[in-house]
Amino acid sequence: MSKQQAPLALIDLNADAPCCPPLAQSQVPAETAAVLAPAFKALGDPVRLRLMSMIASAEDGEACVCDLTPAFDLTGPTISHHLKTLREAGLVDAERRGTWVYYRARPQILRQLAALLSIEPAAAAKA
């Protein structure tokens, strides 16, 4: 069996609704956990977390690998490996333009991951 993961596919990538209730409201079903775990695992590496932050906060909504690589004391192939991991986890999309590859965050998936981690209580009466 290949170690390569299929890209993250949540319930409806075009919907703005979260994939599931926040952790603080109910338990995550096993199937949902299996789908979400690769994304969280990809973000568990400090280099990938920084890359994701750089891509998501890029001024034009996308970042060229040529702008990402100099921010790290790592080789180009190592940065490419980390970007591939983010892409395979479904967190970013990539587009080759000539020599360079441009990366864009997938906001729907990031919203779904953030909603899962939300600790806001359900609309409940507060005493």
Angle between helices 107-117 and 30-42 (to 10 degrees): 110
pLDDT band at 8 (very low <50, low <70, confident <90, very high): very low
pLDDT over threshold 90, residue 83: yes
Three-point CA angle 3, 71, 94, nearest 5°: 45
pLDDT over threshold 60, residue 58: yes
Which sequence spans correspond to the domains of the chain?
A: 30-118
Choices 1.10.10.10, 3.40.50.620, 3.40.50.300, 3.40.640.10: CATH for 30-118: 1.10.10.10
pLDDT band at 43 (very low <50, low <70, confident <90, very high): very high
Question: If you write DSSP's letter for every residue of 51-66 in order, what string do you get?
Answer: HHHHHHT-TTS-EEHH
pLDDT band at 74 (very low <50, low <70, confident <90, very high): very high
Answer yes or no: pTM beyond 0.85: no
Between 116 and 49, residue with greater pLDDT: 49
